Amino acid sequence: MKIYVTGAYGPSQELESLREAGHEVVLGRPVDQPGRRPYTEQELVEWCRDADVIMASHQDTISRAVLAASQNLRLVVVPLVGVDKIDVPAATELGIVVANSPTTLDIAATAEATIALMLMLLKRIKHNESKLRRGEWSRRADLGWLVAGKTIGLVGLGRVGAHVARRLQGWEARFLACDPYVAPETARPLQVSLVNLPTLLADSDVVSLHAALTPKTRGMIGEKELKSMNRAAFLINTARGELVDEEALCRAIEGGWIAGAALDTFESEPLPMESRLRTLDPKRVILTPHNAAHSEAGRLADLKLAFDATLSALRGEVPKHTVNPQVVAQWRQRFGGTKAGRIR
């Protein structure tokens, strides 16, 4: 059977276990290829037409048209957590399983990255490094702030948001969270108070985004929300770039509506050279290429889960981390699978 990998995350030898199982592996443009551009919809329609499995990168969109054109397709899998680049409702309608790779390493790494960016902003690391490199030394006006006594607002208290709160226990900060899917009894052990988004934005010194990308959350942080924040507050986004209206954020930084921001993810990736974000004051705005939470251990763990899902699906078994379990009955009818994997 044919496995199409839209963007390899490492050397092709890492895919050998799929070949040893008797499958053909077709490699697309490597993710770390200099100047790599995402595949267009038409390119994927033509290229993946005879795929049994598509292993998709975080840069490539697997649309309804791509899914519908791939008549043999039984699985779309990503070697990461997010599936927002995949049209999951269309896959479900067409009888195609979608699976992700939610390793605990990814969750911990994203929480660590969030805290690292938070500390860089609060301690004014880039501002002070810039002064030092110009030959200057510390002055009173260059001092930063303690985490202690600050209010940390978490937009999303799922696995990553909860992990951030858990790791900052003992730092003597106050925690707020906005998450309509979390009950107070879940937040209480984390010492987190659940509030609505306007309250969180108005009261927080640091606003950190950990929401999934949905039609409701797309552009949830726009001009109105940024203007409601404290002028001394910081915004951190390690979730999905589309949660933030980037043009509004640029106006917020330039107009002094907020003190600064740290972004590890963007509306368009790789970040275009002409993006206005690149022109913002680098001492107040940290931009990282969607890799602040990446580690080699995490990458290999993600890849293993993606391989496990691929081999399970090709054996007619339901992959362990299926994100659209409602498709299973239809999927078994299409492909004759009888064994049930564990669905989460």
Q: Known catalytic residues?
A: 240, 269, 290
Residue type, 331: W
List, in sequence order, the alpha helices (H) in the chain.
16-20, 41-47, 64-69, 88-93, 104-122, 125-133, 159-167, 184-187, 197-203, 223-227, 246-255, 296-314, 328-335
3-state secondary structure of 181: coil
CA atoms lying within 13 Å on the CB side of residue 325: 7
Quote the CA–CA distance of 84 and 343 in Å, as a whole number.
19
3-state secondary structure of 258: coil
Quote the CA–CA distance of 186 and 188 in Å, as a whole number.
6
**What's the CA dihedral at 195, 198, 199, 204 to 10 degrees?**
110
